[in-house]
A and B are shown apart, each in its own frame.
Chain A
Amino acid sequence: MFTSFKGRQIRIFRIPVQIAVLVFLLGGLYGVTSFGTSPLLKRVFLPNASCRYIESAPTYCFFYPLQDGLTTGFGGYFIDAIFLVLIVTVLIIILGRIWCSWICPFGFMQELLSDLRNKLNIPPLRLKWTHRVLLRQVKYAILFFTVLISISIGISALGLTETQATFALPFCQVCPAKGFFTIFQQIGGIIPPSTTLPFIAIFMLLFFIFTSFFTRMFWCRVCPMGGYMALFATRSLVWLYKDADKCTKCRICLRVCPMDHDKVFEHMKTGDVGGEDCTLCGKCVEMCPEDGCLSLNFMSKRLTVSRKPKFRGTGKRISIKSEISRG
């Protein structure tokens, strides 16, 4: 996993967090059911986390109450759902898209797929610029249509209420996570094999496993939850800073970025270089070879800063005793 030529200062911390979250949120999959029964946790929704279709999941991903609230019309549950979505929005504003790279189990799966591909010596498929821009819009389109369909069903005057049985939770029906978790549970015997699994969900699952294997983080590029987060993730409390004076434009940040977030390379004014695509995984900060060029910050505090590399077998860095001349 760690075959790079520079230390993985951030990923070393990220992997345990991801594993811990995976075990906690998807505990039901592995037979750990103790946290699954707490009713308190069931009312707490995270921006993107566990799945509704896991029998004993402690909490759900917020996209479920959003759709559910809109579909059931403007009843009591609607107010409930809006309240929950508001909490989630506040969380997103505070932490940005950090959910994607530190919490989301589906993102973790994709990272493991990328690692596997690297182990198998297959180069990643790099998307063309036009395709990247297109995919960037797709996530907003999915978000828009999900909300549109949910609202249309919810408004009784439109007379679509009878379709609720088939079109309730429109996104969940196509979400690859549903297929993924349902199949796992059926194999494990946690839920009966007769549980409905739409054909399209299986197709989406296979499609995204295939594409995410060859292109890094393919699902993340079209994920509507990511799209919702991207709406608010302009400048969160956790943010990516670039000191443009130190940038040599070597393109390393762009090459290693799993999301092909080009602002980190192209933006040549000192300041925030995060944005709608940046999931704050910190890979660019790990790999940047300039002292203090990129850094991951929490408010005004620097969490980690890019450094000139210490390559394997090159010993300690020499520091001089004499007074250093600085302008």
Chain B
Amino acid sequence: MGKEIQNNEIESRYLIDKEGYFSPEQKERTGKKSREMANNVIEILRGQKNRPKTMHYFDELLSYGGKRIDEIISFRNSGGKVVGTTCVMVPMEIIGALGAKGVRICSGYYECVHPSNELLGDAGLCPLVKSTLGAKMVSANPLMDVLDLLVAPATCDGKMKLAEMMEDWVPVVMLNVPRVKTGDTTSKLWLEEIKYLIRKLESLTGERLRKKYLLREIRKWNAANRAWNDLMGFRLAKKPLISGRDAMIIAQASEIDDIDRWTVKVNELNQNLKQMDDSGVYAGEENAARVMLAGSPMIFPNFKIPTVIEESGGIIVFDELCSANRILNNPVIVDETNTSEIIRALAERYFFPCTCPCFSPNDERITRLKDAIKNYNVEGVVFHTLRGCHLNNLEGTKIELVLRDLEIPMLKLESEYDEGDVEQVRTRVEAFVEMIKARRKVKRKKKKK
């Protein structure tokens, strides 16, 4: 770099050189490897047993540089604004009501970790954060280059500083998330933050938030919530009709897709699953161990752990990840129909039922897990933490103790954005699945007695 820097010339706080830091070869290599990885994961997903054909739509949507990117680019070229989010706590309805498109930009590409490793040198930092930043640095994710604004709720430390670093390329609106849920100020503070977000978005799009459009968007997302609930119903069956990975990519697709089209496609898929249900076809192996996935988010294509679980004789029947079930878990219930009350309803929907470990107290997470274990007849829980995700790691211990009382086995896994530990994970998961199946026999014997 070597340039003489004067105080008033400093425009970026992290001094990430936009142009010359990474060679074009490196950028190209990262892009190529990311594409390969996405394609590989999709190949594996397509190889699943009894996979409905409708799933191809979601594969294509998430694949690297797919059609959706072209749509977003042409939308932007025609004057529309694209708003990126880094978290599930951003009300997508508000973005939609102002005529902008919301996309979640969290990255799951392994190769993108290296550029930010080079720059930050922090091996203990969350790989999701590193990958997202790296994808921007080497322009490896086309979605990142079309953003007009980034909305970043300051949830965990990693996401907070990620947003700060992203400010080098794109204007960022940071939302102050009150991290203690109890107390009188919590609700007020978050509501004020949402109003601030609305103001920022209004000045971006040059439109005013209108009740008519807000209600229209809420209807759309509620219809999506309903379709998702129907889909979750197929995972309740004794022989689940859809695999956990498929459900995960469907949920993640909702965050970048046009939500109307997504709902239509999911309803179509539901019809297909219904036909499968009638003809007695099911997903996964016979007598698969019913596993629940909890912990840190798993963003496509970081599907290492779910793939291992479902390849070694388990099936994911429920997940409590902010990259899957938590996206569409709750509907927006509007009671009073004036704009400020609708905004309150929206703000509360995105804040209070959220079971992110950054909140304290977070008893509702344990309640949710317990309820799901009962409803979905979960036989074992795989608790996954990304390296450096202290919040999930700490809560994992608490959850382990609760599950011990319920006599549900739990496997705690720590992972990196790296293919290196796959075999190690596989050994542990296989043993875990075997153990679940062995427990089943013991239970059956007990019942007979």
Chain A: residues with CB nearer than 8 A to chain B? Answer: 3-6, 118, 121-124, 128-129, 244-252, 255-256, 268, 283, 287, 289, 308-315, 317-327
Contact = CB atoms under 8 A, between A and B. Distances in A.
Contacts of A252: 333, 345, 348
Given A250-B349, A313-B223, 14 more contacts: A5-B222, A247-B364, A249-B367, A309-B222, A311-B222, A311-B226, A314-B223, A318-B233, A320-B234, A320-B237, A322-B238, A323-B237, A326-B374, A327-B377
A325 B237 contact: yes
Contacts of A322: 237-239, 241, 277, 280, 282
10 contacts: A5-B334, A250-B349, A251-B187, A251-B352, A256-B333, A311-B225, A320-B277, A323-B238, A325-B376, A327-B377
Given A314-B223, A325-B236, A4 B330 contact: no
B237 A309 contact: no
B7 interface: no
A129 B349 CA distance: 21
B348 A255 contact: yes
Contacts of A250: 330, 348-349, 352-353
A123 B332 CA distance: 18
Given A247-B367, A249-B364, A326-B377, A5 B239 contact: no
A119 to B, nearest CB: 9
A117 to B, nearest CB: 9
B230 A317 contact: yes
B405 interface: no
Contacts of A324: 236-238
Contact of B340 (A123, A248, A327): A123
A3 B337 contact: yes
Contact of A326 (B219, B222, B375): B375
A172 to B, nearest CB: 34
A268 B239 CA distance: 33
A311 B335 contact: no
A314 B222 CA distance: 9
Contacts of A319: 233
Contacts of A245: 367, 370-371, 374
Sort A-B residue pairs by CB-CB distance and give the 8 closest, nearest first: A250-B353, A322-B237, A325-B377, A325-B238, A327-B377, A248-B353, A249-B364, A323-B238
Contacts of A244: 367
B301 to A, nearest CB: 30
B335 A309 contact: no
A5 B377 contact: no
B341 interface: yes
Contacts of A314: 222-223, 226-227
B376 A4 contact: no
Contacts of A309: 222, 226, 331, 333
A321 B237 CA distance: 9
